[in-house]
Structures are given as C-alpha cells and as structure tokens.
Structure 1
Amino acid sequence: MTQPHHDGPRTSVRPRPAGDPAATAALTLGVEEEFLLLDPTTGESMPVADRVREALSGTAREQSRQEFRHSMVEMVTPVSPDLAALREHLVALRRAAARAADAVGARLVAVGATPVREAHRTVPDEPRYHDMSRRFGPVAHDPAVCGCHVHVGVPDRELAVQVCNHLRPWLPVVQALTTNSPLHDGRDTGHASWRSMQLERWPSIGPTPHFDSAADYDATVRDLIATGIMLDAAMVYWYARPSASYPTVEVRVGDVCPTVDDTVLVAGLVRALVATAVDEVRAGRPAPRIRDCLVAAAHWRAAHDGVDGDLVDLRTGRPRPAWDLVDDLLAALVPALRRHGDLDLVRREADRLRRDGTGATRQRRIMAGTGGDVRAVLDHLAAQTIAG
C-alpha cells in the first residue's frame, strides 16, 4: 500500500521521563472471538446465528454480536485487568455460546475459515451490509472466516497511532502463532491460515501503513473513502489500528484460536507488544520504516508457513526459522511481560505451543492420522473450543 509523501514526522507524542507512572501502568485487555456454527454431521456452515443469539441469556447475550455471515457468532469479553480474569471470561462465553448452538442443532467451532462448505452466503438484513454487498460483489460473499481481535487500552489516540507503527515488524510473528485455518472445501490448502488468503481480496485489509500522526491517519482514511475502496471509517480493517469503538489499540491479525489457552497466550503477547511500543514512543525512539511490500511479504509467509517453516525477519528482510523469531519476540517482551505479571504464564504457554503446534498443525496431524477425515478434525476442534 503506497504512502503519501511528507517532509517529516509530525507527532504530538512527547517523551516522558523514565519511571513516569503513566508510561509504565498496567494496560487493560479485551478480546473479540468469532466462531463458526457448523452442522455436527456434515461439517457445513449453518445459517443459524440469529437463533443462537436468541438462545443466549443474560450477560452472554449482551456480550454477543451479529457478524457478516449467518453462520458466525462473535463473543466479546468485558475489559479485563489481567490474563486470569480474561481467561475466565473467555471460558464462560465460549461455553454459553456452545450451549446455545447445541440448542438449535449446531456446533460451535473455533476455526479460522469455513472448512467444508457454506451454501448460504447472503448477508444479514442490515443497510450497511447490503451496501457492502453491492460495492464489493462476490468478495462480500466468500465463505465465512473467523478472527481473534485483541484490544489493549491506549486512550491517547495520538499515542495509539504511533504504537501501531512500532507493531509492524512483529505482527507477522503473532499471525504465525495463531494460524488455525488450513482447510477449505474439505482439503488442505497448503496455507496454515486460509482465512488470511481470503481476506486479501478485500481492499482495506492488510498490514497497517506507517503514519506520522493521528492527523495523517485520519487524512489517509478520508482519502481512501473518497477513492471508493472503503464505505466509511469503520472499514479500516488493517492488522492493527486505533479502535473505531473503544479507547484501545486493536490487533486483528490472527485466526480465532482453537483453545482458550491459545487465546490467552496471544492476548498476553499482544499486550506486552503494545506496552513495549508505548515505552519506545515515550522514550522518543522512532519506529523502523519498512517497505510496505516487504511487510506484506512477511505476512504472506506467516499465513503460508505458520510456525512450521520460516518467517521473514523484518529487521533484516531475510527468512529465518520461525521459532527463532518467536524466541526473539519473547526476549524483547520480557520487561513488559514481567511488569504485567505475565512472564511465567506466557513462557509456559509458548513452550506448550512449540510442543503441540498451532491450530493448523494440530488439524493437519489429525488429517494425517485419520486418512483425511475432516469430521475427526471438526470433532477435535469442537471439543477444544469449550475445553476449560
């Protein structure tokens, strides 16, 4: 994505002295998880989201959201001060949604892309969704995909824009750790995240451009709306962005994770990344300027290989073994992880993921062990979705 030329940075974020409480305070968390509603027998997507939401009660219904497909439901956690509280919310919301899905004859599955087939691809009866359908045509009717969006509290919008600049080199690593959608049409696509491949068809999805300031960000969004590739500012779907709804930085690069523990790991990493970026900005250290085409290449490699191959080290522009880059990321985040009390948990969960593999790796292992039995994969995923 091309960037407008400017004479120099124009940011109002000023360095703060070391030890400033505002620069080191713990950051709050929230997570949005999207799930597929699948036929328990065939594995095909079922257009029953409205019925599932109606079957939810109390807090769970309030924390659910309508999505772009009738076969999807999104569950949104409350703001959480720590990973323990976040985990409790995730478990409760997943189990409530699974019970509601079961009540209408569907199965809730945490998987990044439609694994078998989706016959009903009409959009919900909302004016904005109909506008998107008319504007983007068949792209708006691709099979459903499900992501995990992590929100980290950064109420200063100028700071949030600068934080997003600092996240760019590391988001492909986060993406690789979340890969959980290797299947499409019942077969392995060769990509660890087919969801990422589908989403590339949308013109406003992809790596976050580098912005000099919040004013630069806003002017660019206005220009993109004027070109017609976005209907409105809510269609900023970059991998990291100042949230359109909350005083947060929203990281939306990952597939929905198969288990709560996977989601907690990703949330802990993202919070530490944001906290580290805040420290960098406050210290007056500029974000590296990396060519957009190279960032896009790094994300493609992450979606293709996951952590089972190489990733592009955006500090050097060269491929390296994926887990070497994960280790570099963890090392860079130690101060922020320790500050938030997350270091031991994140290390433990990262070791588990290294041992067991990502969601994509686990799905492929079951496919290989069952002679390509997609139903066995989906049975496993459904059980993992609600495991506590």
Structure 2
Amino acid sequence: MTYRPATDRPDLDTLTLGVEEEFLLLDSNTGESMPVAAQVLGGLSGTAYEQSRQEFRHSMVEMVTPVVSDLTELRRHLVALRTAAIDAAEAAGARLVAVGATPVNEAHRTVPDEPRYHAMSQRFGPVAHDPAVCGCHVHVGLPDRELAVQVCNHLRPWLPVVQALTVNSPLHDGQDTGHASWRGMQLERWPSIGPTPYFDSAADYDATVADLIKAGIMLDAGMVYWYVRPSVAYPTVEVRVGDVCPTVDDTVLVAALVRALVATLAAEVRGGARATRTRGCLVSAAHWRAAHDGLDGDLVDLRTGHARPAWDLVDEMFALVTPALERQGDRGYVLDQLTRLRDEGTGAARQRRILERTDCDVRAVLAHLAAQTRPTPA
C-alpha cells in the first residue's frame, strides 16, 4: 500500500484504528501447545476467515480487525473475532488462550510450509524455533509517512509504559519466570526486534532498513519488528510492543491509549517539537524493566533516566493524552478501564494470584486465561 504524500495532513482527531491479536492453541488437560492452527483456520468462515492469518507456529492463530473509527466498533469486531476463533479451536480439540508466551511446552516447533518462513528458519536457526509468543499490535492511521517516522521518535519514552500495561506472560516451562512478560525476554534473541532507533527522517529510516537487509540482519523490510514502526503494509503507525491482552477490554484500553498518544505526539511534531535522542542502552534497559516488573514495581522514566513507580508514569501518560481522549470521546472509557486495571492488576499479576491461591496449579491459571479470552458482549 502506498503512503499518501506528506502534504496530505490527516485530521488528528479522527485517526482510524486496527488491532492484530495473536493467540495460542493449548491442550486443555496438559497446557501444552497444540499444532492445530490449520484446522482452526479451516474451521472459520465468512468475515472471521477473511480476518484470520497464519502465523509462525502451528500452535498460533492471528485475528485482525478491520479498520475502525471508534472504540465501540473496535470492541464489537474483537468480540466477534475472538468468539469465532474460540469456537473453531474447540471444534479442533484445542483451547484458544490469550497469553503472551508458551506457558508449558511447545513440542512441535517446525514452521508452516511457506517459503519465507523456511528462509527465516534457515537464517536464524534455533532462535526461529523458540516456543511461540503472542502479541497485540495496534495500528493507528497516519498516511503522512514523514510524520509517522517522527511520531515513532516521540513514542520512544512512552512505549515501556505501554509494555508494562500489557504484560501477560510470566510462565515458561510451567514455572513463574520472575518476569511479568517472558515474551519480552524471548524476543530479545531476534536481531531485528527491540526498541526503535531514532531516525532523522523517512529517508534515514529507509536507508537504515536497506543497510540491515544488505548486512543480512533482515530478510526484507517485513522483518522490521521494532516496537513501533511505520507499517510495511498499511499507512499506519504500528505499535507492537505489547503482549496479547487477556480480555477484550484490556485490548481496547491499550488501543485507545495508543491512538491518543499518536494524536498527541503528532500534534507536537507539527508544532515543531523534536524528540530527545535518548541513548539506546537506556531505552533497552527501560523495556527490560517494564517486562520484568510490569505495573507492580518501578519503570524507567526515559525523560529523566530515573526509576519511578509504574503507576505514576501511567497517570502522567493519561494526563498527557487526556485532551486527545476527550476530543475522540474516549476519556470516560479509558479512565474506567485504568481504574479496573489498577484494581485487578495486569494479566501477569492475575495469573500469579491464581498460582498463589492454588499452590502453583498451572492448569488453573490456563483455565482462568481461557475464560478471560472468551469475550462477553458489551
């Protein structure tokens, strides 16, 4: 898809949204990953089939919403897609679970029979055969590509906060890893995943990607898996830092905050503001802290370099984007959902409470996650 020229100035109060959610297919008795994605995808029909995608593991499916303009519409699509995928998974003998990383075991780690997946497997070896991980990717329509690159620069200090909101993968090999997002740890093994570098312009971005492809770090531009990027396929800013969220309302909350951040920061760019060139090692450290602590500890405030209570940064992010949320009509919903999240905790915190309550019964955790994955209508 071709980006419109930079002279086409999008209305920042009406930015569109789209969300991609990745799910694991698990055995309801053992919790192990089941390689039945082909059966699940084949069991979908109509819009659900059209909005589904094959993923990098036989135990994963991805559901992709259409482009929407408001949160009510987004929630409706998420409910419909999750429900269809859950029903297809059950028909295939599996349990669809919104969890960020393989919680117990992934016995079948071969890639689907696609040339690109085989090329990735050959190039990256054992890294390409790690247990499956599942993310939530939020697309915000921003057809001015030059503006999109600058917004990516401005997003860098806030992405660890977004990551902390979504942590939902404390388990690995049936044990608590001590990290709220084990997915975040697994992804660090890939050379083209991680914090987005600072770029002076779209030309600088494109030249860097071209250099990384020539150096063999990426097979193609589609392997730019940085935590935020101008999408390769769509005229959007794509934020891909988060674990897949346990509930539909968790997902809608993150999408609303991301859209409000993009609108707020795009306005700052238009006003002439330049993003701070924070050192890459500090940005990486901030993301490690977010993946480790989630919202239950401190986060690194990349504006100052100091560790601060996570919820202080969430509150400051909410204050920053409140004018955009108000213009979009989303403030009330977001405030209610942040209050709920403060009370219930992140997906990782919810899992750990069940582990504590059940003497580390992982099956109880997975049953809870499956129940959270199945949506209820608004």
Q: TM-score range by the shorter chain?
A: over 0.9
Of 68, 72, 79, the match for 1:84 = 72
User: For 1:196 and 1:245, how far apart are their aligned partners in 2?
Assistant: 24
Of 342, 346, 366, the match for 1:378 = 366
Aligned to 1:290: 278
Deviation at 1:22, TM superposition (A): 4.2
Of 37, 42, 61, the match for 2:25 = 37
**Contact (CA 8 Å) 1:13, 1:282: kept in 2 or not?**
no
Q: TM-score, normalised by structure 1?
A: 0.94
User: For 1:317 and 1:85, how far apart are their aligned partners in 2?
Assistant: 38
Which ranges of structure 1 fall in alignment gaps of 5 or more residues? 1-11
User: For 2:299 and 2:270, how far apart are their aligned partners in 1?
Assistant: 29
Aligned to 2:244: 256
**Contact (CA 8 Å) 1:23, 1:278: kept in 2 or not?**
no
**Contact (CA 8 Å) 1:13, 1:281: kept in 2 or not?**
no
Of 290, 293, 305, the match for 1:305 = 293
Aligned to 1:3: none
User: For 2:23 and 2:143, how far apart are their aligned partners in 1?
Assistant: 28
Deviation at 1:24, TM superposition (A): 3.5
2:191 maps to 1:200: no
**Contact (CA 8 Å) 2:99, 2:169: kept in 1 or not?**
yes
User: For 2:226 and 2:367, how far apart are their aligned partners in 1?
Assistant: 32
| TM-superposition CA deviations, 1:106-159 (whole Å, max 9, x none) | 010000000000100000011111110011000000000000000000011111
- One-letter amino acid matched to 1:327: D
- One-letter amino acid matched to 2:375: A
Deviation at 1:387, TM superposition (A): 2.5
Aligned to 1:102: 90
**Contact (CA 8 Å) 1:165, 1:210: kept in 2 or not?**
yes
User: For 1:258 and 1:23, how far apart are their aligned partners in 2?
Assistant: 32
Of 224, 229, 245, the match for 1:241 = 229
**Contact (CA 8 Å) 1:23, 1:279: kept in 2 or not?**
no
User: For 1:23 and 1:140, how far apart are their aligned partners in 2?
Assistant: 40
Look up the SS of the partner of 2:368 in the other structure: helix
Aligned to 2:257: 269
**Contact (CA 8 Å) 2:140, 2:262: kept in 1 or not?**
yes
Which ranges of structure 2 fall in alignment gaps of 5 or more residues? none
User: For 2:236 and 2:184, how far apart are their aligned partners in 1?
Assistant: 23
Structure 2 vs 1, CA of residues 325 and 273 (structure 1 numbering), >3 Å: closer, same or farther? same
* Aligned positions of 1:141-290 closer than 5 A: 141-290=129-278
Aligned to 1:334: 322
| TM-superposition CA deviations, 1:345-385 (whole Å, max 9, x none) | 10110010000000000000000000000000000000110
Look up the SS of the partner of 1:24 in the other structure: coil
- One-letter amino acid matched to 1:283: G
| TM-superposition CA deviations, 1:233-274 (whole Å, max 9, x none) | 000000000001111000000000000000000000000010
- One-letter amino acid matched to 2:130: D
- One-letter amino acid matched to 1:336: A
Deviation at 1:227, TM superposition (A): 1.1
| TM-superposition CA deviations, 1:6-65 (whole Å, max 9, x none) | xxxxxx979x9xxxx845331000000000000011100000000000000110000000
| TM-superposition CA deviations, 1:68-94 (whole Å, max 9, x none) | 000000000000100110000000000
- One-letter amino acid matched to 2:247: T
* Aligned positions of 1:321-360 closer than 5 A: 321-360=309-348
2:126 maps to 1:138: yes
CA RMSD between the two structures: 1.2
Look up the SS of the partner of 2:180 in the other structure: coil
| TM-superposition CA deviations, 1:157-211 (whole Å, max 9, x none) | 1111111001000000000000000000000000000000000000000001010
Look up the SS of the partner of 1:174 in the other structure: helix
* Aligned positions of 1:38-57 closer than 5 A: 38-57=26-45
User: For 2:272 and 2:335, how far apart are their aligned partners in 1?
Assistant: 29
User: For 1:194 and 1:314, how far apart are their aligned partners in 2?
Assistant: 22
User: For 1:244 and 1:51, how far apart are their aligned partners in 2?
Assistant: 29
- One-letter amino acid matched to 1:143: P
**Contact (CA 8 Å) 2:156, 2:196: kept in 1 or not?**
yes
User: For 1:133 and 1:303, how far apart are their aligned partners in 2?
Assistant: 26
Aligned to 1:319: 307
Q: TM-score, normalised by structure 2?
A: 0.97
| TM-superposition CA deviations, 1:282-334 (whole Å, max 9, x none) | 11111111111110000000000000000000010000000011001101111
**How many residues are matched?**
372
Share of identical aligned residues, percent? 77
User: For 1:101 and 1:161, how far apart are their aligned partners in 2?
Assistant: 38
User: For 1:196 and 1:125, how far apart are their aligned partners in 2?
Assistant: 26
- One-letter amino acid matched to 2:100: G
